[in-house]
């Protein structure tokens, strides 16, 4: 692609959207994989605070990072280079922005972009991939998957999901044991509010170890199923009467029978997504007012995606795998694709990585299929549990200093 110029191109890495506990593993792998192709790529830059930082000409040359800093990257949660939620318009709607971006790319001789994000980020990567034809500037743009929501189309799992699923399943399991020990004379109901706007993968993960009716959580409220207050209260009462307590997992995106979010805060982000949060409080007040049970609730919020201390081993493995594949696809000039994980078998779990066009992925949400949901009993099916189980298996713990503090770093 660039042999005739005898000037090696550079690459750019961008973190985008909400974070996961393993996105930095992908970043680390991309950095290290680029080094393996010195005849193809000269340097890899990273945008500070994502695409916003790139537009502000705020880049870091990753070749200057020390070995200790590189080790710190894969050991850390959050996004070490910073992220942003910034929706860029199409080329036709904001040509000046793209001209500015192209000038920055030319300044640093960047001809490869690795855009690490979810559904909305895939849309941004798709828009950036069109720079090549519009400006006659050779550019290969690869979207790299990550999201705790597990809702990216065309991939059988999203890096970031497994670790958050492990955190949620473990936390609710532990809280339920605590609740059970107190329920005789105190709290009867515990509710955990879990991230998931339209897809309930994380909430479903809370029930991955449920084998019998008495196992927690007793109720899973998924965004794929509209909320029925009468049925919900009847089931809460049934479990309290039968087992002395009731443990509940609920998606933040739960909707009522009119298909309206129960916790709509009437605020939106730059992508037009309504800000959610507080459905656990709404349900808690409902339980206390209608049934008279003492109820506690928890909103893990960022905790469920930042828990580096409880990462899934397989999740880190696939985060590394998509990073490696992204670089390999780029040097093969596979513009406008995302490395997607395709399951070969579930026990033991095996997979392969395939390049899928961003036209099939951008702005498409992957929800729980019907055969993963037990709507009658407000829980998940055995098939769903079998799907989730491999992704929460195994542990890789972060490194700690002599004082017991995790060794985390950030470049922002």
pLDDT tens digit sequence for 238-256: 999 999 999 999 999 999 9
Q: C-alpha angle 93/96/100, rounded to 5°? A: 135
Residue 3 has pLDDT above 50, yes or no: no
The enclosing H or E element of 295 equals strand 295-298
Q: Residue 263: what pLDDT?
A: 82
My answer on whether 222 and 344 are in the same domain is no
Q: Residue 20: what pLDDT?
A: 98
My answer on whether 173 and 154 are in the same domain is no
My answer on whether 149 and 27 are in the same domain is yes
DSSP state of 302: T
Residue 4 has pLDDT above 90, yes or no: no
Maximum alpha-carbon separation in the chain: 79
Residue 233 has pLDDT above 70, yes or no: yes
Give catalytic status of residue 149 as yes or no: yes
- Asked whether residue 324 is assigned to any structural domain, the reply reads yes
Q: Residue 196: what pLDDT?
A: 94
Q: Which of 143-147, 267-271, 350-354 has the lowest mean pLDDT?
A: 267-271
- Asked whether residue 369 is assigned to any structural domain, the reply reads no
Q: Residue 269: what pLDDT?
A: 53
pLDDT in tens, 156-192: 999 999 999 999 999 999 999 999 999 999 999 999 9
pLDDT in tens, 5-47: 568 999 999 999 999 999 999 999 999 999 999 999 999 999 9
Spatial separation of the C-alpha atoms in residues 189 and 394, rounded to whole Å: 30
State pTM to two decimals: 0.94
Return the HEC string of 307-357. CHHHEEHHHHHHHHHHHHHHHHHHHCCCCCEEEEEEEEECCCCEEEEEEEE
Q: Report strand pairing: 189-194 vs 246-251.
A: parallel
Judge contact between 10 and 105, C-beta under 8 A.
no
Task: Look up residue 269 and give its two tokens.
Answer: 């982000």
Q: Report strand pairing: 295-298 vs 189-194.
A: parallel
Q: Residue 128: what pLDDT?
A: 95
* Calculated CA dihedral for residues 117, 120, 125, 128, nearest 10 degrees: -140
Spatial separation of the C-alpha atoms in residues 236 and 316, rounded to whole Å: 37
DSSP state of 256: -
What crossing angle do the helices spanning 229-243 and 279-291 adopt, rounded to 10°?
Answer: 70
pLDDT in tens, 82-104: 999 888 999 889 999 999 999 99
My answer on whether 44 and 140 are in the same domain is yes
Judge contact between 137 and 36, C-beta under 8 A.
no
CATH number of residue 51's parent domain? 3.40.50.450
My answer on whether 111 and 149 are in the same domain is yes
My answer on whether 314 and 350 are in the same domain is yes
3-state secondary structure of 251: strand
pLDDT band at 276 (very low <50, low <70, confident <90, very high): confident
> For residue 32, which phi and psi values (nearest 5 degrees)?
-70, -35
My answer on whether 111 and 257 are in the same domain is no
Residue 59 has pLDDT above 90, yes or no: yes
- Asked whether residue 398 is assigned to any structural domain, the reply reads no
- Asked whether residue 101 is assigned to any structural domain, the reply reads yes
Count of residues for the chain?
Answer: 412
- Asked whether residue 391 is assigned to any structural domain, the reply reads no
Query: Distance between alpha carbon 134 and the CA centroid of its chain, in Å?
Result: 31
My answer on whether 207 and 277 are in the same domain is yes
Active-site residue, from 149, 151, 371, 401: 149
Mean pLDDT score of the chain, rounded to an integer? 95
Domain final residue pick, 306, 335, 354: 306
- Asked whether residue 171 is assigned to any structural domain, the reply reads yes
Judge contact between 239 and 246, C-beta under 8 A.
yes
My answer on whether 48 and 188 are in the same domain is no
CATH number of residue 264's parent domain? 3.40.50.460
Nearest Cα neighbor of 287 from 218, 373, 208 is 218
My answer on whether 212 and 98 are in the same domain is no
- What is the mean predicted confidence (pLDDT) over 251-265? 90
**Dihedral angle sign, alpha carbons of residues 133, 136, 138, 143:** negative
My answer on whether 99 and 129 are in the same domain is yes
Q: Residue 271: what pLDDT?
A: 53
Domain final residue pick, 263, 281, 306: 306
Residue 282 has pLDDT above 70, yes or no: yes
- What is the mean predicted confidence (pLDDT) over 316-323? 98
Number of domains in the chain: 2
- Asked whether residue 343 is assigned to any structural domain, the reply reads yes
My answer on whether 114 and 74 are in the same domain is yes
CB under 8 Å to 71, separation ≥6 — which residues? 399
Q: Tell me what percent of the residues of the chain surpass a pLDDT of 90.
A: 92
Judge contact between 117 and 124, C-beta under 8 A.
yes
Q: Tell me what percent of the residues of the chain surpass a pLDDT of 70.
A: 96
Domain final residue pick, 286, 306, 326: 306
Sort 409 into a burial class: Cβ within 10 Å, 0-12 / 13-18 / 19+: middle
* Residue 54, domain extent: 3-159+308-364
- Asked whether residue 385 is assigned to any structural domain, the reply reads no
Residue 71 has pLDDT above 70, yes or no: yes
């Amino acid at each position: 692609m660039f042999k005739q110029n005898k000037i090696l191109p550079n690459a750019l890495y961008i973190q985008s959207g909400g974070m996961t506990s393993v996105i930095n593993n992908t970043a680390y792998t991309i950095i290290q994989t680029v080094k393996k192709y010195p005849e193809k790529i000269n340097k890899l830059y990273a945008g500070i605070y994502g695409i916003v930082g790139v537009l502000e000409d705020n880049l870091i040359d990753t070749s200057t990072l020390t070995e200790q800093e590189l080790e710190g990257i894969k050991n850390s949660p959050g996004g070490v280079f910073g992220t942003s939620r910034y929706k860029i318009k199409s080329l036709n709607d904001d040509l000046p922005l793209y001209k500015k971006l192209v000038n920055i790319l030319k300044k640093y001789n960047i001809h490869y972009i690795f855009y690490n994000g979810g559904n909305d980020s895939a849309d941004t990567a798709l828009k950036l991939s069109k720079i090549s034809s519009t400006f006659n500037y050779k550019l290969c743009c690869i979207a790299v998957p990550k999201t705790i929501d597990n809702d990216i189309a065309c991939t059988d799992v999203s890096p970031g999901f497994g670790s958050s699923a492990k955190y949620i399943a473990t936390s609710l399991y532990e809280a339920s044991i605590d609740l059970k020990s107190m329920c005789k004379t105190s709290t009867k109901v515990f509710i955990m509010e879990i991230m998931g706007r339209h897809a309930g993968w994380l909430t479903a993960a809370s029930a991955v170890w449920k084998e019998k009716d008495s196992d927690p959580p007793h109720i899973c409220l998924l965004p794929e199923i509209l909320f029925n207050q009468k049925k919900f209260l009847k089931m809460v009462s049934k479990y309290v009467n039968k087992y002395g307590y009731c443990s509940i997992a609920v998606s933040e995106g739960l909707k009522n029978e009119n298909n309206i979010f129960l916790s709509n805060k009437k605020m939106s982000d730059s992508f037009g997504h309504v800000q959610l949060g507080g459905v656990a409080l709404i349900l808690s007040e409902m339980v206390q007012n209608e049934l008279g049970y003492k109820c506690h609730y928890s909103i893990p919020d960022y905790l469920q995606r930042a828990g580096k201390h409880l990462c899934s081993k397989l999740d880190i493995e696939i985060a590394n795998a998509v990073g490696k594949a992204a670089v390999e696809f780029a040097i093969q000039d596979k513009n406008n694709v995302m490395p997607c994980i395709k399951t070969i078998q579930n026990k033991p779990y095996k997979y392969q990585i395939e390049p899928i066009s961003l036209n099939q992925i951008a702005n498409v949400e992957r929800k729980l299929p019907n055969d993963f949901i037990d709507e009658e009993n407000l829980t998940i099916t055995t098939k769903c549990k079998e799907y989730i189980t491999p992704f929460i298996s195994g542990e890789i713990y972060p490194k700690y200093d002599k004082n017991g503090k995790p060794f985390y770093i950030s470049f922002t």
